[in-house]
Amino acid sequence: MTGRMTGSDVSAVFITADTTALDADGISVAASVGNNAALVIGGALASGGAVALSHGRIVTILSAGDDSGISFTVTGTDVNGDAQTESITGANAGTATGAVYFKTISGISAVGNPAGNVSAGVNASAADVIYEGRSRLKGIYLTSTATAGTTDFLENSPTGTSLMKLSSVASATATRDVVIPADGVLFIDGIYIQYTVSTFLTMTVFHA
């Protein structure tokens, strides 16, 4: 939710943190997958054959066999709502972790022949967009949870250049009210956040 302060060029963006925990099979439960075949998108996070998340999340692929010689193609959209595709190299009887954040997942397909059962889910890292264009970060009001953590403010994308970090404290009643001096921190190509789920409750970000 975004609002503009009366008589000011400062906008306020209100964010409720993602609280969905790490879920190794939330996208697709463990099952045999054929050569160059699609995983069934039917885990706990899925609805109607697709996954729609409140914030961007990183996809994980859990292989029961040795899938290090093949890959998995993930399709969906990023935190800006733009189409996105990622190729994730499989793991040898373990978990392969992607590198980009998906807000929706419409499909995952094997590129090759998986050696055993495969499942797909998300890890505990989350991301969102504050503003897509050039802007100055002016202030932040944050409400903590019982779990402390650090929110990373990045330029260009949720995996872009970190320009500022803000820590929360392990207290469900604690708040932080941060005013950035002078003209604020300049983000030339968008303001994005990255954090671990449930490490803050809500956040209001002020930018101009």
CA gap 40, 27 in Å, rounded: 8
Identify residue 69 by its one-letter amino acid code.
Answer: G
Pairing status of strand 11-16 against strand 2-4? antiparallel
Q: Quick one: how many helices (H) and strands (E) in the chain?
A: 0, 16
Specify the pTM. Answer: 0.93
Q: At a CB cut-off of 8 Å and minimum separation 6, what does 188 contact? A: 134, 155
Counting every residue written for the chain, the total comes to 208
Mean pLDDT of the chain: 95
Q: What is the pLDDT of residue 8?
A: 72
3-state secondary structure of 49: coil
pLDDT digits (tens, 9 = 90+) for 8-47: 789 999 999 999 999 999 999 999 999 999 999 999 999 9
Assigned token pair, 28: 């697709």
pLDDT digits (tens, 9 = 90+) for 126-171: 999 999 999 999 999 999 999 999 999 999 999 999 999 999 999 9
Identify residue 14 by its one-letter amino acid code.
Answer: F
2 pLDDT above the threshold of 70:
no
Q: What is the pLDDT of residue 7?
A: 52
C-beta neighbour count of 135 within 10 angstroms: 22
